[in-house]
Structure 1
């Protein structure tokens, strides 16, 4: 196993920042659950749906996912299937770990770049939702933030893998 005390990915600042994002993500989850519960309750008990609840749920979902992804990647909480690890050996695992993260960094960079352009367009044209007139640009901004931080976490993991080698067991 890797010595996590010497990994860049476990710096106090990064731990703090990702912890804060995780808390904000949990708040978004709470808002999503409360909105969904009261939306269903009001619709079926009082026959009075909450107008704009779908917009709140959609935007809370963006916040939830994009702020939770960097922390999940940092803690390596994603589902991993290691069926071929025994066959490809340590060298194959090392190459696979680097390659998977490099491809992910590239895709997240493209996503960030496109979301940044959409955010600027949404700001310029003052795009907003139909029911609640919520502006789109802050949510594109959160998409950019989450993607960039996720890519940064993966880049730090690549540096750690190169420095320490592939993990022997997980």
Structure 2
């Protein structure tokens, strides 16, 4: 990890800029998830404009939208899992000592790792059966399995990011980028 001597926008002190391979991997996963948000929005926008102003329906736009939304969900799980920015209930967490908060975080992250790992295994089975059954889109008769495979890669990314979060929570808690922890102003 590299520490810059630039002043923080919140006051004096160094700004930490991480350049580790893990942090670049995490940032890449988040960028891919953001790209899928844009692709889903673009698909919807273009379909609506074409239908409304030109009376033209894009073939398979509904199937593409449905499949891309599935991809977005699994890549979104990957993006939110590491940062801890998903929906949480912090009633107990907020009322215990920092040491106990860390243990709660470790336990919760291990449970999440288990659940998402099982989900990833079952999603791979869905990719396999979709490929074997030759499931196709309605209009263009394109195979669905590549969309399922991209969603599965997002789920694998979620498992990796949750594993990284677990590792850091246990061995390097100072490297966690957690929105729950605030810096003193």
> In the aligned structure 1, how far is the partner of 2:151 from the partner of 2:88?
24
Moved more, 92-101 or 59-68: 59-68
> In the aligned structure 2, how far is the partner of 1:124 from the partner of 1:16?
36
Structure 1 unmatched ranges of 5 or more: none
Q: Normalising by the residue count of structure 2, what TM-score does the alignment of the two structures yield?
A: 0.72
The SS at the match of 1:109 is: helix
Matching of residues 109-120 of structure 1 within 5 Å? 109-120=117-128
Moved more, 115-124 or 14-23: 14-23
Structure possessing the higher relative contact order (Cα contacts under 8 Å, 6 or more residues apart): 1
> In the aligned structure 2, how far is the partner of 1:38 from the partner of 1:120?
31
> In the aligned structure 2, how far is the partner of 1:33 from the partner of 1:165?
36
**Which of 138, 146, 151 is the equivalent residue of 1:143?**
151
Identify the residue that residue 29 of structure 1 maps to in structure 2: 37
> In the aligned structure 1, how far is the partner of 2:21 from the partner of 2:154?
17
Compare the two structures and name the one with the higher strand fraction: 2
Structure 2 unmatched ranges of 5 or more: 4-17
**Which of 89, 92, 95 is the equivalent residue of 1:84?**
92
Matching of residues 90-169 of structure 1 within 5 Å? 90-164=98-172, 169=181
Q: Are residues 1:70 and 2:78 paired?
A: yes
Q: What value does the CA root-mean-square deviation take over the aligned residues?
A: 2.9
Moved more, 140-149 or 86-95: 86-95
Query: Contact between 1:66 and 1:146, CA under 8 Å: does it hold in 2?
Result: yes
**Which of 11, 21, 46 is the equivalent residue of 2:54?**
46
Q: CA deviation at 1:152?
A: 2.0
> In the aligned structure 1, how far is the partner of 2:168 from the partner of 2:27?
20
Give the total of aligned pairs. Answer: 164
1:71-115 residue CA offsets vs partner (Å, 9 max, x unmatched): 333334334443333423234312321221111111111111111
